[in-house]
Amino acid sequence: MSMTEQYDSHENTVNKRINRTLKYEYGLIQIIKSTQLAQKMTKQAVYIYNNLRIHFSLNLRKSAEIHLNQNIKYKSYRRNNVNLPELTI
């Protein structure tokens, strides 16, 4: 199953890498007995990943910083520039 909008294998690889990071760096691999707790932990991990954690692939910048500033150049794994609607969770 692809985790991307366009079923692009390169994007799917990146998404799998992000999921691995969330599981192992933020403890989401453990058995969580409550759905509410799992949702809270996931929300916190994603916030940290996007807003506090620097990324080598983004030249030691944070994901949110890149997302909010369209002038910053970064490596994109997307093969074509498709304008997709912003996803909200």
Task: Please name the residue that has the structure tokens 């916030």.
Answer: 47
**Averaged pLDDT for residues 81-86:** 57
Domain membership of residue 14 (yes or no) is: yes
Taking the C-alpha atoms of residue 75 and residue 53, their distance in angstroms, rounded to an integer, is 17
Residue 18 has pLDDT above 50, yes or no: yes
Q: What are phi and psi of 88, to 5 degrees?
A: -120, 145
Please give the torsion angle defined by the CA atoms of residues 61, 67, 72 and 77, in that order, rounded to the nearest 10 degrees: 90
Domain membership of residue 47 (yes or no) is: yes
The reported pLDDT for the residue numbered 61 is 85
Percent of the chain with pLDDT over 90: 7
Contacts of 49 (CB under 8 A, 6+ apart): 18, 21, 22, 26, 63
Domain membership of residue 82 (yes or no) is: no
Domain membership of residue 79 (yes or no) is: no
pTM score of the predicted model: 0.59
Total tally of structural domains belonging to the chain: 1
Q: Which residue has the higher pLDDT, 39 or 13?
A: 39
Measured in whole angstroms, the distance separating CA 72 from the mean position of its chain's CA atoms is: 18
